[in-house]
Amino acid sequence: MTSPKSAKDVLRMCREHDVKAIDFRFMDFPGLWQHFTIPVKRLSEDTFEDGLGFDGSSIRGWQAINESDMLVVPQADTAFIDPFCELPTLVMICNIQDPITREDYSRDPRNVARKSVNYLNSTGIADTAFFGPEAEFFIFDDVRFDQAAQHGFYYVDSVEGEWNRGRVENPNLGNKIRHKEGYFPVPPADQLMDIRNEMMQTMIDCGLDVECQHHEVATGGQAEIDLKYDKLVKMADDMLIYKYIVKNVAKKHGKTVTFMPKPVFSDNGSGMHTHISFWKDGNPLFAGNGYAGLSDMALHAIGGILKHANSLLAFTNPTTNSYKRLVPGYEAPVNLAYSQRNRSAACRIPMYSSDPKTKRIEFRCPDPSCNPYLAFAALSMAAIDGIQNKIDPGDPLDKDIYDLPPEEAAAVKKTPASLDAALTALQMDHEYLLKGDVFTQDVIDTWIHYKRINEVDAVRMRPHPYEFCLYYDI
């Protein structure tokens, strides 16, 4: 499907597809897509200039009740036909503006991402930031959870789960995937091939550029679908469409998807390894004659990412659950180092090709619970800071971290152990994010406050089920 370029293109698209409804979408501050819908007859060329009003006080992390009026301004080049609505519906992603000043709203995550791109251009370093995330997720057959004053529990299930080897299924055919052995058995062990194919094809039908799909390492339905790298804002937009499609295809088949980083104990969690490269005038800037075929610019970008990694994780790994994935012993990278092949390092340089156009940095810490606009913008700002200040990333870590002598292993810096620690790091280290007014102080302060009150404290105050196993009999 060819993307429209203008309001006229969108209106023509509506006629060609007999569209009856227009769905306007935008992302709230923490990172969930929001929407409202109008009849197609209410859409005109003026809508793309004037926008439509809505109540911003009801959106998490946004306006106060006394200044609640806001505008959504649809972006024509984001339009696509919703593949799930019974009534023919066209979707557009929107920017958020103040209705009085018509200024872009500081806490609109898409605005932060757009400003990061503008800042990169203003530095003269590059004119394009390419991002390629590899989002992982679980496809479950059943999920139940609750938390009240006197009880708290969760329960997830998958027909593939190793824990169901002895379940009466009338018949149980025995096609269960052992822990950490989900990469890449063919059907019938892989029981989700058709669903992932449908997810992949639906993404293609909606204009996403899919590279591959496959089962992931964990038992119980872990999956991955990869998109080809694209420009920063476009890729963040695409990740929202990606999640929407994955969740709704699963629902169509009576299944459910979660992008929680660690929903299953004792097996791999879901990450979102993120590939980054800067280009200028159509030329890649990260290829060179240095370590792993990198340019000095790329090495300095790594230096910036590693220097600011602790605070970056407040955006790239923004949930309390994120830090149940970032633990030693799994593929999750907890070592703040770089390497051309070592997957336990936070920054890896893929070595699949010698083509300069493929030369990029892979930051392996992020997970798919993140708000992609904020995560990609923060990563870009850290890389820019490294380049501007020529930050030395130190020596690469090409050894197996788990075989290092204790004193050598102890010298390798590690990722924060909790969301609280990452938020503290963000409090102490965010000047690099404020450059170019990309992340305003208002955004930083609101993010820290919201996460501390609504997530860190909320989890800390509640008894954990395993605490009963540990302490009930004391």
Catalytic machinery residues: 55, 134, 136, 216, 224, 273, 343, 362, 364
d(CA 13, CA 437) in angstroms, rounded, equals 36
Whether the Cβ atoms of residue 305 and residue 361 lie closer than 8 Å to each other: yes
Yes or no: say if 293 and 359 are a contact pair by the CB < 8 Å rule: yes
Provide the sign of the torsion angle of the four alpha carbons 396, 402, 406, 412, taken in this order.
Answer: positive
Cis bond before residue 185 (omega within 30° of 0): no
The answer to whether 367 and 316 are in contact (CB under 8 A) is yes
The Cα 185–Cα 189 span in angstroms is: 6
In Å, the largest CA–CA distance within the chain is 71
Contact indicator for 59, 28 with CB cutoff of 8 Å: yes
Contact 369, 322 (CB under 8 A): yes
Query: Are 200 and 193 spatial neighbours (Cβ–Cβ below 8 Å)?
Result: no
Distance CA(112)–CA(374), nearest Å, equals 7
CA–CA separation, 88 and 37 (whole Å): 12
Residues 456 and 354: their CA atoms lie apart, in Å, by 44
- Kindly state the tokens that stand for 199: 């997810």
**How big is the chain, counted in residues?**
474
Q: Which position has the token pair 């089962």?
A: 215
Q: What is the DSSP letter of 277?
A: E
The one-character DSSP state at 136 is E
Cα-flanking dihedrals φ and ψ of residue 136, to 5°? -110, 155
Alpha-carbon distance of 72 to 54, in angstroms, equals 7
- Cα 380 versus chain centre, distance: 14
Show the tokens assigned to 36.
């409202």
Question: Cα separation of 54 and 64, whole Å?
Answer: 13
- For residue 384, what are its two tokens? 């820019």
CB crowding 253-276: b at 16 or more within 10 Å, else e = eebbbbbbbbbbeebbbbbbbbbb
Helices (H), 273-369: 296-307, 309-316, 322-325
User: Is the N-terminal amide bond of 259 cis, ω within 30° of 0?
Assistant: no
Which token pair is 46? 């003026």
3-class SS at 102? coil
